[in-house]
Amino acid sequence: MRHVVFAACLCVLAGCSGETGQTIEGKVTFSDGKPLGQGYVVLSDGTHSYNGAIKSDGTYKAENVLAGEYKVGFGGVTLGGTDNTEGYMEYDKEGNYIPPPEGTPAISLIKVAMCNPDTSGLTVKVPSDSYDVTVEAP
């Protein structure tokens, strides 16, 4: 009996819940085909949330995503701004950070509503043949 209980505990710790996800890969582009080259994609169904960093060519990868339909949002998609430490950062030739002038507003690369999965209007279904997404400029 102890062996059965021990095996059951190991199964729970190892993730034997039967729910295993898959790695999904896609590309985030504007309608003109240019990639959104920074930030991260957020997939949310209200219960589960996954994210994947967006590379400079617009590609992203999210791992262990369970099957289902997900609303899509984005983070880290602003440039500059003194109130935005996660946004674009400028460096001089020696690699020193150049802070933006005081009071500089952050500039969003996409429509602000697209940052929130609940207001973006974008969805992806897992599994699917494509996880590419098109975003709109502000």
Nearest one of 38, 76, 75 to 59, comparing CA atoms: 38
- The phi and psi torsions of 49 (rounded to 5 degrees) equal -140, 135
Query: Greater confidence, 38 or 78?
Result: 38
Q: Where residue 74 sits, what CATH number does that domain have?
A: 2.60.40
* Residue 2 located in a structural domain: no
Query: Greater confidence, 6 or 122?
Result: 122
Confidence of residue 106 (pLDDT cuts 50, 70, 90): confident
Counting the structural domains of the chain, the total is: 1
- Average pLDDT across the chain, whole number: 81
- Name 10's Cβ contacts closer than 8 Å, sequence gap at least 6: none
**pLDDT number for residue 10:** 38
Asked whether residue 58 carries a pLDDT value surpassing 80, the answer given is: yes
The angle subtended at Cα 134 by Cα 131 and Cα 135, nearest 5°, is: 130
Which strands make up the sheet holding 59-65, listed edge to edge? 59-65, 22-30, 133-135
Distance CA 125, CA 77 (A): 23
Q: What average pLDDT score do residues 22-34 get?
A: 96
Q: What average pLDDT score do residues 40-64 get?
A: 95
Asked whether residue 35 carries a pLDDT value surpassing 70, the answer given is: yes
Confidence of residue 16 (pLDDT cuts 50, 70, 90): very low
Q: What 8-state DSSP symbol labels residue 25?
A: E
**pLDDT number for residue 102:** 73
Q: What is the residue type of 4?
A: V
127 preceded by cis ω (within 30°)? yes
* Residue 120 located in a structural domain: yes
Distance CA 79, CA 89 (A): 8
Domain encompassing residue 129: 20-135
Give residue-wise pLDDT tens across range 77-100: 887 665 544 444 566 777 776 666
